[in-house]
Amino acid sequence: MSSPRVDGRVERGNRTRRLVLRRTVDIASVEGLEALSVGRLATELGLSKSGVFALFGSKEELQLATIRAASRIFADEVLAPMDGIPAGVARLAHLCEGWLRYSQGRVFPGGCFFSAVMAEFDAREGPVHDALVQSLAIWMAYMEGCAVDARTAGELHADTDPAQLAFELVALMETANAHSLLNSETTPYDRARTGITSRLRATATDSALVPQTS
């Protein structure tokens, strides 16, 4: 039996949607989600305004779709490489290093996509704000979960507060991202790596468990 034939219009629509979203995540990481517009995207990508509008229906849906696309890229770049690394301090260290490389490597031209757009919507209300809150909650829960697993494995002191540790590590990473962008230099990433290593060694039951990841 032959496989079902894919509707050519659907396939073209999916390709166009991927093309548009690859451009929107880059724009938003530098200029913010409010900089997105159907007209601009149509002009830059050589598409019709009606065709772009038909894919999303509204500016808000375009913004939400951009957040979802950025989340998938983030997961591929930062979370997927954690597969196969056992629970423990090393996994936490490699996770931080993965985030720093994602930011320093400019996977998005504006550094961390989420750091850029959360500042834009942190004091607002609505679906876009809520989607960003959810994205941050998922990331922080992942970080905290890795800390919990490391404590359960006996590699962090029993009195370690996983939520506090995750908060401090994320703060170091986000500060490096912001300072690097502002000053166009990489030194902040080195300082963040030093701070993360120091914090993990102070918390680990054996400092030798903390790998040199840079």
Give per-residue pLDDT as tens, 34-70.
Answer: 999 999 999 999 999 998 999 999 999 999 999 999 9
Total domain count for the chain?
A: 1
Alpha-carbon distance 26 to 29, whole Å? 5
Domain CATH code at residue 93: 1.10.357.10
DSSP state of 204: B
Q: Is the pLDDT higher at 11 or at 199?
A: 199
Q: What is the pLDDT of residue 14?
A: 82
DSSP state of 71: H
Domain that residue 193 falls in: 59-209
For 17, the token pair is 């949607």
Alpha-carbon distance 173 to 195, whole Å? 9
Looking at 44-53, 87-96, 100-109, 139-148, which range is the least confident one? 44-53
> 6 falls in which pLDDT band (50, 70, 90)?
low
Alpha-carbon distance 206 to 43, whole Å? 57
Judge contact between 126 and 115, C-beta under 8 A.
Answer: no
Pinpoint the alpha helices (H) of 157-207.
Answer: 162-183, 187-203
In a domain, 12, yes or no: no
What are the distances in angstroms from CA 76 to CA 57, 134, 213?
Answer: 27, 18, 19
Q: What is the pLDDT of residue 212?
A: 81
32 CB-contact burial (10 Å; exposed 0-12 / middle 13-18 / buried 19+): middle
Mean per-residue pLDDT, 160-180: 98
What are the distances in angstroms from CA 122 to CA 103, 114, 132, 173, 193?
Answer: 21, 11, 9, 19, 27
In a domain, 192, yes or no: yes
Alpha-carbon distance 98 to 104, whole Å? 10
In a domain, 15, yes or no: no
What are the distances in angstroms from CA 31 to CA 26, 185, 212?
Answer: 9, 20, 35
In a domain, 79, yes or no: yes
> 5 falls in which pLDDT band (50, 70, 90)?
low
Whether 157 has a pLDDT exceeding 50, the answer reads yes
> 4 falls in which pLDDT band (50, 70, 90)?
low
Q: What is the pLDDT of residue 62?
A: 96
Rounded to the nearest 5 degrees, what angle is found at the Cα of 97, between the Cα atoms of 88 and 162? 45
Q: What is the pLDDT of residue 109?
A: 97
Q: What is the pLDDT of residue 197?
A: 97
Q: What is the pLDDT of residue 12?
A: 76
In a domain, 180, yes or no: yes
Tokens 């959360």, located at residue: 118
In a domain, 2, yes or no: no
In a domain, 41, yes or no: no
Mean per-residue pLDDT, 96-124: 96
In a domain, 8, yes or no: no
Mean per-residue pLDDT, 19-43: 96
Rounded to the nearest 5 degrees, what angle is found at the Cα of 97, between the Cα atoms of 91 and 99? 105
pTM of the model: 0.91
Q: What is the pLDDT of residue 1?
A: 47
Whether 30 has a pLDDT exceeding 70, the answer reads yes
